[in-house]
């Protein structure tokens, strides 16, 4: 996310929903492995993101927002 958008929770949710609608969510290898282990499909991931909420945010985390 460019600029200071990583602190704007509404923009984060909006962007995730846009990506989910387009089915353009990028996964890390670890994320994919966890989805396989938990039997979560890519379609289910996208569907859940369409109705998601940000519960916690850590914009200053050492690995990034």
pLDDT along the chain (65 residues), means of 10: 64 90 93 96 93 80 72
Neighbours of 61 (CB within 10 A): 8
Question: Are the C-beta atoms of residues 6 and 59 closer than 8 Å to each other?
Answer: yes
Q: DSSP class of residue 9?
A: H
Cβ contact 42:35 at 8 Å? yes
- What is the pTM assigned to this prediction? 0.68
Beta-carbon count within 10 A of 1 CB: 12
The reported pLDDT for the residue numbered 5 is 65
């Amino acid at each position: 996310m460019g600029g200071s958008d990583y602190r704007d929770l509404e923009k984060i949710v909006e962007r995730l929903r846009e990506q989910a609608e387009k089915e353009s969510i990028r996964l890390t290898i670890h994320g994919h492995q966890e989805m396989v282990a938990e039997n979560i499909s890519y379609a289910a991931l996208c569907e859940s993101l369409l109705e998601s909420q940000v519960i916690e945010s850590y914009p200053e985390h050492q690995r990034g927002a």
